[in-house]
Structure 1
Amino acid sequence: MKTLLLSMFMIAGIAHGQTVNKISSAPLTSQAGLYLDAGTPLYNPVKGFQLYKKAAEAGNPQAMNAIAILYSKGIGTEVSQQEAFLWFKKATEKGYVNAWYNLGSMYRKGLGTPLDFTKAYQSFSKGAAASAPASLYARGYMLYKGLGCTQSYEEAVKMFRLAIKRRSISSMYLLGLCYANGYGLKADTAKAKYWLKRSALAGYQYSKDELKVEGPENKNISPVQKGTKNAKNTVSFSYKTVAHNVKANNLNGVYKGYILKYDWSGKFIIDKVPLKLVLSNNNQQVDGLWTEQGKSAIPLTASVTDSAIVFSNTSFASTDHYSPDKKVQFEFKSANLQLINDADSIYITGNISLWATDRNEPEKPMSISLHKDAKLGVDEVKSRDEFNLLVYPNPFDNTLQFSFYLQKKNDVMISLIDLSGRVIYQEQKPFNQGANTHAISSDSPPGAYILKLSSGGRTRQVIVLKH
């Protein structure tokens, strides 16, 4: 997000977007601007603050916005985010259009007021309705990520295009990302590079960084094998929330599986990462180690409630697509998990919520799909001959996609079985050596099922949840 509109020249020079009555305080704002220009002999921020304060108290909305910025940054006065928030609010009430962006930024960052994405979005929307460039961008940003509003790339793109007409380089960057990833419009590498290069040439660092990265974040999943019986060739990978049903005393053990990381809409899987999770419980508290492939283990501490697992003081630093060179700080916030037992295994699937502390906003949605052998303890897990079976999405709607690996070409028996042992779906067909992707469709009722693969005397099964 952009920072507050801090340039004192911008404070003095941005038009309201509507007629403001001429009042006696107008000369004060002009003089105050001179005292706040560090490049002149008149530079005196304390005096500049006093003059702006006098004009603001006299009812000048431009001065109200200016005094709020001075309070927020501690220029000519002590820092007071509470005073900044109040003066931004007064400026909007007086019709100063550009103050809507600043007020929304206070709500979005929790400065001088509790963090509130809904009120931030509402503030940006009011500024956008008056065609204020910063608010057009900010409203698009909130729509892009679904902060305080229903997530919509399509609506975000509309905002970015309007803001670009008013020379918003940050909107050029996000429009470039939409083209690169196929978010809200058809993916177009040439158009993506055009907008990223335009904003990069204007000095926008995020665009410069994106142009250095090989490929967009959304590289898509391998297509479903064509000609599959009872399978759709177009599969929805939508992220689904699950109802929490886990108790602390059920969680002891070592679990292995995958993390599925989604885009902001939850419609695209942008990464799948092998995960090892070691858990031990102490009454209603759970301690553990979270280890993603190729990364250091992260210690976890959490309390288990009836509605969620709530993490405490569990933070870590990691790079991501948009920050490949500098680690970003994240916190584990909560998890909604489903735990299912069968004769030989225990399965955990569900949603994990992270918070990006550097960005002061939630991270993209992610889910986990893990299993452990019921007969093995924390220190007794042994390697097994597996298919390297990955199921996604899990939970699923009517179509379930999965990938697996074969050492050699062979027939595979695929079965979907309910927990009473009844076979819901079954087919046998040959698959090639190496990695394979397959999909099956089922109109069975919502609930837990076992997906079972058998080939060459080996069997692998996982629990899947159907919405």
Structure 2
Amino acid sequence: MKKILLLFIFYTGLYNGMAQQANTDYITQININLYDVGDIQNHPTGLFQLEALTNEGNTNCMNWLGILYNEGLGVEKNENTAFELIKKAASLGNSTAAYNLGRFYMIGTGCDIDFDKAKYWLTVSADQGNERAAYGLGYMHYKGFGVAQNYKTAVSWFELSNFPMAKHWLGICYYFGYGVVKDEQKAIINFTKSQTPNSNMMLKHIFENVRQSVDSNLSMQINENETPDNAAIAKETIEKTIDTRLTDESKTEKKVIKPKYLNGKWKGKLIELDWSGKEITRILPISLEFVVHENEIEYKWKLNNYVTENTTILEDNSLYFENLNMTLDLPFSDNSLSSTLNWQILSAQIDFKAINKKTYLTANIETFTSEWQEPGPPMRLILKDVNEASDELSDEELIAISTQKDKFIAFYPNPFVTDVLIAYELENDAKVSVSVYDLSGNNTLINLEQETLQKLGPHHYTLDGTNLKSGMYIVRVSVDNQVHTRILIKQ
């Protein structure tokens, strides 16, 4: 609160005579973007003084001025200037600026998206005692954003921070047993310490025994009987089908899935997992129907009695959707204004498993929610032909269909607005070329890398999409003449 009040006083002095609403808008923008304004005891009263103190080497003022340039408040918006100011302040040891610099690298503000540098500067800031930076690192590890997903690492960072949302997520970890032994009392203690609306909602869920209701509902979903739209798939089948030991497609012989293989009606389960991909959090009955024509694939998606019909693109064993959405209940919603969340389904990486004359269609689902501006947790589809018998799978069959292939090309974010990070990892030295094509009929070609010998290990590029039109783009990475593709969406 002290930081916000100081910012308000500074902003009032800086823009004397402007509408009071502008003050509120400014503070709101700062909070939404999660920038840290730091703590200045002798705050400047105007832009001239702020610039003068910045030129004298005051790193707090450098940080403030950088935020103003980034938001375009009182000065002409300039992300490059913002980046340079905050980078200089961070390099001079300012922990607040180090946090902001980490945020800049994470979203590509005035620089290329670089998660390694983001993690480095957030760690520098956290080591200097910045509570928000420790929370940010915990959140990244909790959901696996830019780093390997790890609940235990997330918990260790949350425990180092007194930032209210760090206490909230620490409470979540104790409530569900993520990275720690499940402990409802410790969850309540941390939710109470947080004192955020999010934690207050979780306390309400605890006192109303919502988890018992959710567990009961999950059991009911698993034990549903066979219907024309719903395949009876036992819990053991589902659990063993969800194998987190993903096999990279570059390690195995690639099977090309042709559109005609999809033709027909399928039924089964949509399975939502926790962020580790190891625990089932939701199971929903789903049916899918594909009608393949010469130049397009029509689909009918039925979930929660809601039907979506449209066309899809099959590319490199993945289905890509442009306008497929699903709204799901949030049984543990921490938003008092809404108990649902809308997911945009971007793609479904599909695979067929034929075992003992029975065929299963499995898929890894990639989602995005505009409400959180984040990708969703792991989701899977397990489907079988409606004409298949409802016999359960044997243990051998379960193991056989459990392996899913991981995507060779990774994006962040997807969909994107301006810049997007394109990344992949080579297992051996190889000749590589990287290009981007427009699928909207504009014949746009962007060469990010001509054929070049690259060393084994991770590689990444930042695509500047500022001037690209909205639509779908295909990214192709050729590795020793083996082509990997994936579709990217520009909002």
Q: Does 1:363 align with 2:369?
A: no
C-alpha deviation, 1:182, in angstroms: 0.4
Q: Which residue identity does 1:215 align to in structure 2?
A: R
Q: Secondary structure at the match of 2:135?
A: helix
Instruction: State which of 249, 262, 270 in structure 1 corresponds to 2:281.
Output: 270
Distance 1:284 1:56 in 2: 61
CA displacement, residues 407-439 of structure 1 (integer Å, 9 cap, x when unaligned): xxxxxxxxxxxxxxxxxxxxxxxxxxxxxxxxx
Aligned twin of 2:266: 255
Aligned twin of 1:215: 211
Distance 1:323 1:283 in 2: 47
Q: Does 1:191 align with 2:186?
A: yes
C-alpha deviation, 1:359, in angstroms: 2.1
Distance 2:170 2:91 in 1: 32
Aligned twin of 2:298: 287
TM-score, length-scaled by structure 2: 0.60
C-alpha deviation, 1:163, in angstroms: 0.6
Instruction: State which of 4, 7, 10 in structure 2 corresponds to 1:7.
Output: 4
CA displacement, residues 180-211 of structure 1 (integer Å, 9 cap, x when unaligned): 000011001111112112213xxx12112222
Contact kept? 1:101, 1:123, Cα under 8 Å: yes
Q: Does 1:354 align with 2:367?
A: yes
Q: Which residue identity does 1:77 align to in structure 2?
A: V
**Unaligned ranges ≥5, structure 1:** 13-31, 223-230, 375-383, 398-467
Map 1:335-414 onto structure 2 (within 5 A): 335-340=348-353, 346-373=359-386, 386=390, 395-396=401-402
Q: Which residue identity does 2:86 align to in structure 1?
A: F
Contact kept? 2:240, 2:398, Cα under 8 Å: no
Contact kept? 2:199, 2:334, Cα under 8 Å: no
Distance 2:178 2:111 in 1: 33
Contact kept? 1:143, 1:149, Cα under 8 Å: yes
Q: Which residue identity does 2:200 align to in structure 1?
A: K
C-alpha deviation, 1:113, in angstroms: 4.3
Aligned twin of 1:180: 175
Aligned twin of 2:47: 49
Q: Secondary structure at the match of 2:282?
A: strand
Distance 1:394 1:327 in 2: 35
Q: Does 1:310 align with 2:320?
A: yes
Distance 1:154 1:307 in 2: 34
Counterparts in 2 of 1:346 and 1:123: CA distance versus 1, 3 Å = same
Distance 1:286 1:88 in 2: 49
Distance 1:110 1:298 in 2: 35
Distance 1:52 1:283 in 2: 65
CA displacement, residues 310-331 of structure 1 (integer Å, 9 cap, x when unaligned): 3334445444343672543432
C-alpha deviation, 1:373, in angstroms: 4.3
Contact kept? 1:309, 1:335, Cα under 8 Å: yes
Distance 1:392 1:322 in 2: 33
Counterparts in 2 of 1:366 and 1:241: CA distance versus 1, 3 Å = farther
Counterparts in 2 of 1:315 and 1:273: CA distance versus 1, 3 Å = closer
C-alpha deviation, 1:367, in angstroms: 1.0
Counterparts in 2 of 1:316 and 1:236: CA distance versus 1, 3 Å = closer
CA displacement, residues 244-286 of structure 1 (integer Å, 9 cap, x when unaligned): 7422232122210001211111121111111111223345753
Aligned twin of 2:345: 332
Instruction: State which of 140, 158, 161 in structure 2 corresponds to 1:160.
Output: 158
Counterparts in 2 of 1:47 and 1:171: CA distance versus 1, 3 Å = closer
Distance 1:83 1:282 in 2: 52
C-alpha deviation, 1:56, in angstroms: 2.7
Counterparts in 2 of 1:277 and 1:79: CA distance versus 1, 3 Å = farther
Instruction: State which of 119, 123, 127 in structure 2 corresponds to 1:125.
Output: 123
Map 1:14-163 onto structure 2 (within 5 A): 35-36=13-14, 48-163=46-161
Distance 1:161 1:150 in 2: 19
Contact kept? 1:262, 1:269, Cα under 8 Å: yes
Q: Which residue identity does 2:301 align to in structure 1?
A: W
Aligned twin of 1:296: 306
Q: Which residue identity does 1:209 align to in structure 2?
A: M
Aligned twin of 1:378: none
Distance 2:57 2:150 in 1: 39
CA displacement, residues 66-106 of structure 1 (integer Å, 9 cap, x when unaligned): 01221233322344444433332222122211112222223
RMSD of Structure 2 on Structure 1 (CA): 4.1
Q: Which residue identity does 2:70 align to in structure 1?
A: S
Q: Secondary structure at the match of 1:98?
A: helix
TM-score, length-scaled by structure 1: 0.63
Distance 1:300 1:113 in 2: 38
Distance 1:103 1:216 in 2: 43
Distance 2:111 2:325 in 1: 24
C-alpha deviation, 1:298, in angstroms: 3.6
Matched residues, percent identical?
Answer: 27
Aligned twin of 2:488: none
Distance 2:245 2:300 in 1: 25
C-alpha deviation, 1:35, in angstroms: 1.8
Distance 1:349 1:236 in 2: 9
Counterparts in 2 of 1:52 and 1:130: CA distance versus 1, 3 Å = same
**Unaligned ranges ≥5, structure 2:** 27-43, 220-235, 404-491
Contact kept? 1:303, 1:309, Cα under 8 Å: yes
C-alpha deviation, 1:291, in angstroms: 2.2
C-alpha deviation, 1:40, in angstroms: 12
C-alpha deviation, 1:219, in angstroms: 4.6
Contact kept? 1:107, 1:117, Cα under 8 Å: yes
Counterparts in 2 of 1:331 and 1:86: CA distance versus 1, 3 Å = farther
Contact kept? 1:107, 1:114, Cα under 8 Å: yes
Distance 1:141 1:158 in 2: 11
Q: Secondary structure at the match of 1:196?
A: helix
Contact kept? 2:105, 2:111, Cα under 8 Å: yes
Q: Secondary structure at the match of 1:7?
A: helix
Contact kept? 2:240, 2:402, Cα under 8 Å: no
Q: Secondary structure at the match of 2:173?
A: helix
Q: Secondary structure at the match of 2:383?
A: strand
Q: Secondary structure at the match of 1:106?
A: helix
Q: Which moved more, 1:329-338 or 1:341-350?
A: 341-350
CA displacement, residues 194-238 of structure 1 (integer Å, 9 cap, x when unaligned): 2112213xxx1211222233129995987xxxxxxxx9xx98964
C-alpha deviation, 1:132, in angstroms: 1.1
Distance 1:249 1:101 in 2: 51
Contact kept? 2:96, 2:130, Cα under 8 Å: yes
Count of residue correspondences: 348
